[in-house]
Structure 1
Amino acid sequence: MSHDGLSACTRCGLCVEACPQHVLGLAVDGVMLLPGAGECSFCGACAEICPEPVFDAIPVMVHVAQIGPDCLVRAGITCMTCRDACPEMAITLIPRIGGPFLPHLDASACTGCNACIAPCPADAIEAVPIKAPADA
């Protein structure tokens, strides 16, 4: 979903019905990717059916994943679920002495597909808006 295109959303719901993964929903301000509903595969069904310029051709969302403080490794529990679920390999594990490997999310590699959110056993991953680069 493009930043500018979202404002063109009329909330008709055609994209929600067309989504084979059932990960789209309607919000007050337009269509949204439902957190925890599963992974967007970027199949393009939403873009094909949408009569408005809401979806752009670049397969990225207006958000990225963020691993929060409730991550199990913070409690000393080994977990690699987010890394294993990420189709873009945007999540890597950083070794550390005296504890389980720490997950590190490369926001520049994250497409915002949400594949890591639903499988997280601690509900420690959320979608956050992409920060606009500082004006030069």
Structure 2
Amino acid sequence: MNLALWVAASLLATVLLISTSKMFVPRERIAAVGHAGAWVMDFSPAALRGIAVLELLAAAGLILPAVLGIAPVLVPVTAACVALLFVGATGMRLRRGERATIVPDLLYLAVAVFVAWGRFGPEPF
């Protein structure tokens, strides 16, 4: 179980790190990639940078506290916050009518809930 939680947290941290590219790539370029990236045009560049900073902090919060042994309780707290982030992402996709692109958000939401449940419950640090 511990290994599965580490893999899930690492996968989630990787996804969040990749997603921080919106901090560096112009939103017009992200929107041009395809239908899945069109949502960025609904947000200002400052809001996108804010979301990217939160994702960067979440990626760090999923891994670093446990690795460094400093306040490891932050891992499940961060996972719960990431779950809320993906609830918001799912809501945004539903509002925009992007039902085809909602599946990855729901998958990441499930992974975040799994990490939060596992680290709060059966496999705490």
Larger relative contact order, structure 1 or 2 (CA cutoff 8 Å, min sep 6): 2
- Band of TM-score, shorter chain: under 0.3
What is the TM-score of this pair, normalised by structure 1? 0.25
What is the TM-score of this pair, normalised by structure 2? 0.27
Q: Which has the higher strand share?
A: 1
Larger Rg: 1
